[in-house]
Amino acid sequence: MSFQIRTEPADQHFDAAPGETILAAALRQGVGLPYGCRNGTCGSCAAQLIAGQVDYPSGTTSGLEGKPPGTCLTCQAVPTADLVLGVTQIRGVAQIEVRTLPCRVVRKEHLSHDVVRLYLKLPEQQRLQFFAGQYLDFILRDGRKRAFSIANAPHDDAAIELHVRHVPQGQFTDYVFNDLQEKTILRIQGPLGTFFLREDTDRPIILMGGGTGFAPLKAMIEHAFHIGIERPMQLYWGVRARRDLYLPDLPLAWARAHPHFTYTPVLSEPDPDWQGRTGFVHEAVAADHADLSGFDCYLSGPPPMVEAGRRAFEARGLPRDHLFSDAFEYAPETRAAAGG
């Protein structure tokens, strides 16, 4: 016996098989629901449960913390009755096929003391179609997955660019940082996630990244330049010290080439000779913008940074529908390396 699911306000209908999560059923039938980590921690898949009942067989519901009553996590929730969900659908992502492919490491660069850049080449005649800001999974030999944000724009897809931060005691990132060799064959699955640049709006853009949360924002910015978006774009990049700005010249070059783009690095543990902004990156954004009601804001990085930014920006009038986020989980290694 399957359960019928209807979404509002789009009035989209689909069904879920017994034991199937809402998100799995939606993706199986080409219904574009928002999601991120797919393990119940990030909260990106949260939807309003207007009618019906769900169960959480996995028991993983930490992504519900801070959400309004009546919210469900579609990536973990299994229907036990017919449902009506209040959720904003993302039609474009659903139209892109999620594929599992082999890839070859064609280039490995140490960008800083704890960040490596990888370039992955797919088999001949193959390309990975994706939206700027999405991520992919590495599929390990034992079936585990490790997620990394795609750092290149869709038009520049001869190779897939990833920024990998060395996570302390992270088995996979230890391997990537120390032992992974060029020409190694790996297996990936993607594209994944609903963190991508919204193009059908005239609102100015604020992009806030923490650490290697810069990776998906880089893809968005380069895509925006490529398609000719000339809305004001402001990038705030928060790190501890100057050495953590692992591509320091790139945003400066963007700012020189594009008058509508500005860049603000923010150091929380600044070097003695640092003359720029200091403190937490979300505080710098808030200090510069007393009213965010007219902006689109993109947040990418560690969950505490994303959550602090969400609270601060909503307090300054940012509507929830115009705040887009991708929170990286560093431990356990699940969404552990999505860009970081």
Compute how many other C-beta atoms are within 10 angstroms of the C-beta atom of residue 200: 5
Cα–Cα dist 180/173, whole Å: 9
Q: Taking residues 56-63, what's their average pLDDT?
A: 91
Residue 193's region, left for phi above 0, alpha for psi from -120 to 50, else beta, is left
Q: Kindly indicate the confidence band of residue 337, based on its pLDDT and cuts at 50, 70 and 90.
A: very low
Q: What is the pLDDT of residue 299?
A: 97
List the structure tokens of 115: 């960040």
pLDDT tens digit sequence for 193-231:
989 999 889 999 999 999 999 999 999 999 999 999 999
Report cis status (omega within 30 of 0) of the bond before 123: no
Cα–Cα dist 276/268, whole Å: 11
pLDDT tens digit sequence for 262-275:
999 999 999 999 99
Asked if residue 301 has pLDDT above 90, the reply is yes
CB 237 within 8 A of CB 264: yes
Q: What is the pLDDT of residue 36?
A: 72
Task: Please name each of the domains of the chain with its CATH number.
Answer: 3-93 (3.10.20.30), 98-192 (2.40.30.10), 205-327 (3.40.50.80)
Q: What is the pLDDT of residue 286?
A: 98
Mean pLDDT of the chain, nearest integer: 92
Cα–Cα dist 40/140, whole Å: 21
In the chain, the percentage of residues whose pLDDT exceeds 70 is 95
List the structure tokens of 317: 């009038």
Give me the residue label for tokens 């992919």: 136
Q: Which residues contact 221 (CB under 8 A, 6 or more apart)?
A: 207, 233, 235, 254, 261
Q: At what angle do helices 214-227 and 249-257 cross, to 10 degrees?
A: 20
SS3 for the chain is: CCEEEEEECCCCEEEECCCCCHHHHHHHCCCCCCCCCCCCCCCCCEEEEEECCEECCCCCCHHHCCCCCCEEECCCCEECCCEEEECCCCHHHHCCCCEEEEEEEEEEEECCCCEEEEEEECCCCCCCCCCCCCEEEEECCCCCEEEEEECCCCCCCCCEEEEEECCCCCHHHHHHHHHCCCCCEEEEEEEECCCCCCCCCCCCEEEEEEHHHHHHHHHHHHHHHHHCCCCCEEEEEEECCHHHCCCCHHHHHHHHHCCCEEEEEEECCCCCCCCCEECCHHHHHHHHCCCCCCCEEEEEECHHHHHHHHHHHHHCCCCHHHEEEEECCCCCCCCCCCCC
Q: Taking residues 110-128, what's their average pLDDT?
A: 93
Least confident of 38-52, 227-241, 293-307: 38-52
Q: What is the pLDDT of residue 133?
A: 95
Q: Taking residues 29-45, what's their average pLDDT?
A: 82
Q: Taking residues 14-33, what's their average pLDDT?
A: 89
Q: What is the pLDDT of residue 329?
A: 54
Q: Taking residues 91-118, what's their average pLDDT?
A: 91
Q: What is the pLDDT of residue 332?
A: 41
CB 67 within 8 A of CB 307: no
CB 150 within 8 A of CB 162: yes
Q: What is the pLDDT of residue 336?
A: 40
